[in-house]
Structure 1
Amino acid sequence: MKKVVVGLSGGVDSSVAAYLLQQQGYEVIGLFMKNWHDDSVTISQECPWLEDSNDAIMVADKLGIPFQTVDLSKEYKERIVDYMFREYEMGRTPNPDVLCNREIKFDVFMKIALSLGADYVATGHYCRKGEIEIEGKPVFQLLAGKDANKDQSYFLCQLTQEQLSKTLFPIGELQKHEVRAIAGEQGLITANKKDSQGLCFIGKVRLPEFLQQQLQPKEGVIVEIDSEKELFAVSTPQFSSKHEELEYLSKKYSYTPEDGKIVGRHPGAHYFTKGQRKGLAVGGTPEPLFVIETDVNSNIIYTGQGKDHPGLYRKALFILPEEIHWVRPDLEVMPYAELKVMARIRYRQPLQEATLNPTENGMYIVFEEPQASITEGQFVAWYRDEELIGSGVIS
């Protein structure tokens, strides 16, 4: 019997993952990750991890599997929370869920599980693992979950071959309603529990309040840029090289206060992100205002009216060499070759047609259609059919 440690989170997905593995004949151990109990950064009056931990215990008890809690709050604070604050301070928008999978679940947690003699680690993610053979060696594939509404492959876009080789995704072939039905049939307490919202493992968190506890408020102005502004009406120049064209397409607009008019004030540019609509507290415009750029150095937020404002859109993005990650290193594209892929720049975004253009200085991704709110610090993931083959941090 192979031994599997399941990350029991106290939710329905990981509960059913544990049950299915048990049915498949694995020796299953439940492990709950306690990742947050720092009272200096309060998140809400509720205590979600305590409730989740109790639910995880009851699921383990019902299934008759050994259970224990591991405290990873120190690692979580260092690798996720501190990183988030640093990124926001620099005016970037991090993705804690992707980071949490890379740094905590499939690194710190996985090492603990393997030290307990586990052959595999399993999670309740909606994605699948494939295995093929290339030159006599196994190569692992990260495949989208069968439930298109729930597919979570994007959140796992930073996994390595080594991590995939020791991972199982038992619910990847199922639809969410099937998972709930199995939990109900087995009398698991989590059967009708709502899906968790908020930060990976911290629970219910309102990001602005969370950030304000570390990043000091700093009042600044909100500037509105008219969509008819001449800086948006530039005709595409002639390029002397492919590289020049790629640089041009991925370059973001730069604004000065003189380009627009002051329409309000904000508590700190580092609390806002591109594409954001809520929290600006500016009324009286025919169409809602969207953040089109933040300047943390000058502490200015630039906005535009309506979701079709040209300042929101860009045709390409750039990734620094050290931020490019191939889940399938055997498919890596050499500089100045091109690869047509499907890509997304945020979770749940429908896949977009794009072309990878690697150079010595990093990789450009050019989309067929201009993309809204390409945001520095977020992850772009690229796919071939239903397989996620690589990802990178948007620069």
Structure 2
Amino acid sequence: MKRVIVGLSGGVDSSVAAYLLKEQGYEVIGLFMKNWHDDSVTISNECPWLEDSNDAMIVAEKLGIPFQVVDLSEDYKVRIVDYMFNEYEKGRTPNPDVLCNREIKFDVFLKIALDLGADYVATGHYCRKGEEEINDEPVYKLLAGIDDNKDQSYFLCQLSQEQLSKALFPIGELTKPEVRKIAAEQDLITADKKDSQGLCFIGKVRLPEFLQQKLQPKEGVIVQIPEDSAIYNREIPTFHSKEEELAFFSTKYEYTISDGKVVGKHQGAHYFTKGQRKGLAVGGTKEPLFVIDTDVVENVIYTGEGKNHKGLYRNVLFVSNEELHWIRTDLAMQNGASMEVLSRIRYRQKLEEATLYKVETGMYVAFKNAQSAITEGQFVAWYLNDELLGSGVIS
């Protein structure tokens, strides 16, 4: 019997994952990861870890599998929370869920599982794993989940071949309603439990208050840039190479306060992200204002009216070599190469046609259609059909 350690989160997905593995004849052990202690910044009982670990324990009892809680809060603080503060301070917007999978579930947690003699770790992610022999070597593939509505492959876009080799995704072939149905038939306490929101394992966090623990509030101005600003009529030069052209179109618009009018005040540019609409508290416009850029050095937020504002859209983004990651290392591109792919810049976004261009310093991703709110610090992931090949941090 192969031994599998399941990350039981106290939700329905991981509960059903554990049940299915047991049905398939694996020796299953449930572990709950406790990653956070500070309840002062979570929102009123929305997702306190205690209730979740309790639910996970009840599920383990029901399934007749061993269960324990592991405290990973030290690692979580260093690898996820400190990283988040650091990124926000630089004016970038991190994705803690992607990092949590790479750094915690499939690293710290995986090591604990291997120490317990496990052959695999399993999670309740809606994605699938494939395997193929290429040049006599096993190559592991990360495939989208069957349920288009719930596909979570994006969150695993930073996994390595090594990590994938040890991973199982038991519910990847199922839809969410099917998962809930199995949980109900097995009388699992989590069958009707709401999906958790918010940070991976912290629960619903009040982000500004969370960030304020480290990043001090600092009053600055909100500037509205008009749609017909001369900035958007920049002259397009003659390009001598494809790379010059890509570099030009991947460069974001540069704003100064004199480009627009001051319409309000904020408590810190580092609390805001591109594309954000809520929390600006500025009235008097026909359509809502959206953040089109933030300047953390001058502490200014630039906004535009309406979700079609020119300042929100761009076709090309860049990923530096240091932040470029291939799950399929055998398909990694050489300088000068290009590849037609499908790509997304955030979870739940539908896949968009794009072309990858590998250059000496990194890689450009050029979308066929302009994308809204391409945000530094977020991950871009690229696919061939339903296989996720790689990802990178948007520079």
Query: TM-score of the superposition, structure 1-length normalised?
Result: 0.99
Match of 1:87 in 2: 87
1:237 shift after superposition:
2.3
Match of 1:238 in 2: 238
Match of 2:41 in 1: 42
Match of 1:107 in 2: 107
- 1:101-150 deviations in whole A, cap 9, x for unaligned? 00000000000001000000000000000001101111000000000000
Secondary structure in structure 2 of the residue aligned to 1:340: strand
Match of 1:199 in 2: 199
Match of 1:329 in 2: 329
Q: Which amino acid aligns with 1:99?
A: L
CA–CA distance in 2 between the matches of 1:119 and 1:102? 18
Q: Which moved more, 1:241-250 or 1:152-161?
A: 241-250
Match of 2:388 in 1: 388
Secondary structure in structure 2 of the residue aligned to 1:293: strand
Match of 2:162 in 1: 162
CA–CA distance in 2 between the matches of 1:220 and 1:233? 28
Unaligned runs of 5+ in 2: none
CA–CA distance in 1 between the matches of 2:235 and 2:144? 39
1:126 aligns with 2:126: yes
> Aligned residues, how many?
394
CA–CA distance in 2 between the matches of 1:184 and 1:288? 42
The answer on whether the counterparts of 2:41 and 2:209 sit within 8 Å (CA) in structure 1 is: no
CA–CA distance in 2 between the matches of 1:148 and 1:91? 32
Secondary structure in structure 2 of the residue aligned to 1:353: strand
1:235 shift after superposition:
4.3
1:43 shift after superposition:
2.1
Match of 2:187 in 1: 187
1:44 shift after superposition:
3.0
1:38 shift after superposition:
3.0
CA–CA distance in 1 between the matches of 2:67 and 2:204? 25
Q: Which amino acid aligns with 1:213?
A: Q
1:42 shift after superposition:
2.9
CA–CA distance in 1 between the matches of 2:49 and 2:318? 38
Q: Which amino acid aligns with 1:174?
A: L
Q: Which amino acid aligns with 2:260?
A: G
CA–CA distance in 2 between the matches of 1:141 and 1:314? 30
The answer on whether the counterparts of 1:95 and 1:379 sit within 8 Å (CA) in structure 2 is: yes
Match of 1:27 in 2: 27
The answer on whether the counterparts of 1:198 and 1:206 sit within 8 Å (CA) in structure 2 is: no
Match of 1:75 in 2: 75
Q: Which moved more, 1:113-122 or 1:238-247?
A: 238-247
CA–CA distance in 2 between the matches of 1:182 and 1:315? 43
Q: Which amino acid aligns with 2:191?
A: A
Q: Which amino acid aligns with 2:217?
A: P
1:276 shift after superposition:
0.4
Kindly report the root-mean-square deviation, in angstroms, between the aligned alpha carbons of the 2 structures: 0.9
CA–CA distance in 1 between the matches of 2:178 and 2:366? 38
CA–CA distance in 1 between the matches of 2:223 and 2:301? 6
The answer on whether the counterparts of 2:41 and 2:206 sit within 8 Å (CA) in structure 1 is: no
- 1:173-223 deviations in whole A, cap 9, x for unaligned? 000000000000001000000000010000121212211222100000001
The answer on whether the counterparts of 2:41 and 2:205 sit within 8 Å (CA) in structure 1 is: no
Secondary structure in structure 1 of the residue aligned to 2:190: coil
Secondary structure in structure 1 of the residue aligned to 2:41: coil
CA–CA distance in 2 between the matches of 1:377 and 1:327? 19
CA–CA distance in 2 between the matches of 1:38 and 1:348? 29
Query: TM-score of the superposition, structure 2-length normalised?
Result: 0.99
1:260 aligns with 2:260: yes
Secondary structure in structure 2 of the residue aligned to 1:55: helix
CA–CA distance in 2 between the matches of 1:361 and 1:194? 44
CA–CA distance in 1 between the matches of 2:41 and 2:203? 11
Unaligned runs of 5+ in 1: none
CA–CA distance in 1 between the matches of 2:318 and 2:106? 27
The answer on whether the counterparts of 1:250 and 1:317 sit within 8 Å (CA) in structure 2 is: yes
The answer on whether the counterparts of 2:220 and 2:269 sit within 8 Å (CA) in structure 1 is: yes
CA–CA distance in 1 between the matches of 2:44 and 2:125? 28
Q: Which amino acid aligns with 2:64?
A: G
Match of 1:362 in 2: 362
Q: Where do 1:371-382 residues align within 5 Å?
A: 371-382=371-382
- 1:310-367 deviations in whole A, cap 9, x for unaligned? 1001110001101000000001111111001000000010001001011111111111
